Amino acid sequence: MKAIIIAIDGPAAAGKGTLAVALAQHLGLPHLDTGLLYRAVGRLMLDEGRDCAGDDASDIAARLAPSDLKRTDLRLPEVDRAASLVAAQPAVRAALLQRQRDFAATHGAVMDGRDIGTAVFPHADIKLFVTASARARAVRRYQQYHDRDPSPAALSQLEAEIEARDHIDSARHVSPLQRAEDAILIETDDLTPDQVLARALDIVARHPKFLAGNP
Ligand code: CDP
Ligand code: CDP
Task: Quick: pLDDT tens for 109-148.
Answer: 999 999 999 999 999 999 999 999 999 999 999 999 899 9
pLDDT category of residue 214 using cuts at 50, 70 and 90: low
Taking a C-beta distance cutoff of 8 angstroms, is the pair 131, 12 a contact? Answer: no
Taking a C-beta distance cutoff of 8 angstroms, is the pair 5, 108 a contact? Answer: yes
Q: What ipTM describes this predicted complex? A: 0.98
Nearest residue (by CA) to ligand 2, atom 23, is 113
Ligand 1 proximal residues by C-beta, below 6 Å:
10, 12-18, 140, 144, 188, 191-193, 196
> What is the structure's pLDDT at 143?
95
The rounded Å distance from CA 70 to ligand 2 centre is 16
The rounded Å distance from CA 196 to ligand 1 centre is 10
CB 137 less than 6 A from any atom of ligand 2 = no
What is the CB neighbour count within 10 angstroms for residue 76? Answer: 13
Rounded (10°) angle between helices 134-146 and 152-171: 120
Query: In the predicted model, what is the mean pLDDT of residues 141-160?
Result: 94
Query: In the predicted model, what is the mean pLDDT of residues 182-203?
Result: 97
What is the CB neighbour count within 10 angstroms for residue 22? Answer: 19
Task: Quick: pLDDT tens for 19-28.
Answer: 999 999 999 9
CB 131 less than 6 A from any atom of ligand 2 = no
Dihedral of CA atoms 41, 42, 43, 45 in degrees, nearest 10, equals 90
Residues 6+ apart with CB under 8 A from 143: 149, 150
Q: Which numbered atom of ligand 1 lies nearest the CA of 144?
A: 14
> What is the structure's pLDDT at 211?
77
Query: In the predicted model, what is the mean pLDDT of residues 19-44?
Result: 97
d(CA 199, CA 126): 13
Residues 6+ apart with CB under 8 A from 8: 16, 19, 20, 23, 110, 111, 112, 113, 116, 128, 129, 130
Amino acid (1-letter code) at residue 189: D
Taking a C-beta distance cutoff of 8 angstroms, is the pair 125, 4 a contact? Answer: yes
> What is the structure's pLDDT at 213?
67
Structural domains of the chain in order of their starting residue, each with its CATH number:
4-204 (3.40.50.300)
Query: In the predicted model, what is the mean pLDDT of residues 178-192?
Result: 97
Query: In the predicted model, what is the mean pLDDT of residues 159-185?
Result: 95
- Strands 108-113 and 4-9, by their bridges, are parallel
CB 81 less than 6 A from any atom of ligand 2 = no
Nearest residue (by CA) to ligand 2, atom 7, is 35
